[in-house]
């Protein structure tokens, strides 16, 4: 609906690392999260995650066996967003906290307030075939604003303590191009730090 995306980084895919990061991620969404969909990995399907979701009144669903399209949106974003910006090269897990800091301070703001996404208009022909046409391009925040039209809808959609005025302020601090440049500079600083330390470790070895 909005394509709002929160990216986080952990040292390892395990329930021990995911609990804190999931809780933090849910609090970064400006609207209420009603559902949580995951694959069938044990890092997501476990008692700890179930307790967390129950506490937040979030319903969990999981992918069906042999149905790869169940995670199509996630995998598509992984390729068009994560890999495009972070690359395919190996980064040691000890750098996860620094990468996560970059995500929280720069990348998530860029993705949701300054990077337009394509929103499809779906039509069904006389034979029942669905066709998608991409004519609408908005940032996730612009899309969210178009859904929150009244005080009543805002109360139903937005998380307690979050207002459109607060989000407008974040969006207006810099233009899309200015923030993209700022995000790119922060990413370059991160990569230089990671590469430099990796090179030092290689020489020491």
- Give the model confidence (pLDDT) of 188-200 as tens digits: 999 998 876 655 4
Mean pLDDT of all residues in the chain?
Answer: 87
**If you classify domain 15-204 with CATH, what class do you get?**
alpha beta
Which residues partner with 137 through β-bridges? 118
Residue 157 sits at the vertex; the CA angle it makes with 153 and 160, to the nearest 5 degrees, is 110
Looking at per-residue pLDDT, the higher value among 42 and 28 belongs to 28
Tell me the C-alpha distance between 26 and 24, whole Å.
6
pTM: predicted TM-score of the whole model, two decimal places: 0.85
Count CB atoms within 10 A of the CB of residue 108.
19
Annotated domain spans of the chain? 15-204
Tell me the C-alpha distance between 60 and 197, whole Å.
40
Residue 62's contacts (CB-CB under 8 Å, 6 or more residues apart) are: 37, 38, 39, 40, 44, 45
Tell me the C-alpha distance between 162 and 111, whole Å.
19
The tens digit of pLDDT for each residue in 129-186 reads 888 898 899 999 999 999 887 877 888 899 999 999 999 999 999 999 999 999 999 9
């Amino acid at each position: 609906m909005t394509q709002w995306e929160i990216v986080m980084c952990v040292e390892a895919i395990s329930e021990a690392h995911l609990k804190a990061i999931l809780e933090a991620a849910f609090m970064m969404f400006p609207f209420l999260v009603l559902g949580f969909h995951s694959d069938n990995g044990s890092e997501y399907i476990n008692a700890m995650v179930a307790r967390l979701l129950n506490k937040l009144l979030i319903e969990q669903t999981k992918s069906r066996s042999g149905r790869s399209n169940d995670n199509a949106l996630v995998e598509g974003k992984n390729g068009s967003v994560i890999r495009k910006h972070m690359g395919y090269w190996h980064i040691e897990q000890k750098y996860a906290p620094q990468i996560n800091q970059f995500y929280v301070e720069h990348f998530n703001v860029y993705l949701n307030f300054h990077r337009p996404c394509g929103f499809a208009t779906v039509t069904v022909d006389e034979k029942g075939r669905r066709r998608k046409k991409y004519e609408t391009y908005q940032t996730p925040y612009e899309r969210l604003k178009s859904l929150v039209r009244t005080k009543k809808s805002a109360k139903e959609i937005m998380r307690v303590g979050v207002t459109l005025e607060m989000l407008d302020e974040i969006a207006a601090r810099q233009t899309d191009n200015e923030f993209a440049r700022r995000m790119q500079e922060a990413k370059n600083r991160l990569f230089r730090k990671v590469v430099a330390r990796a090179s030092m470790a290689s020489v020491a070895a």
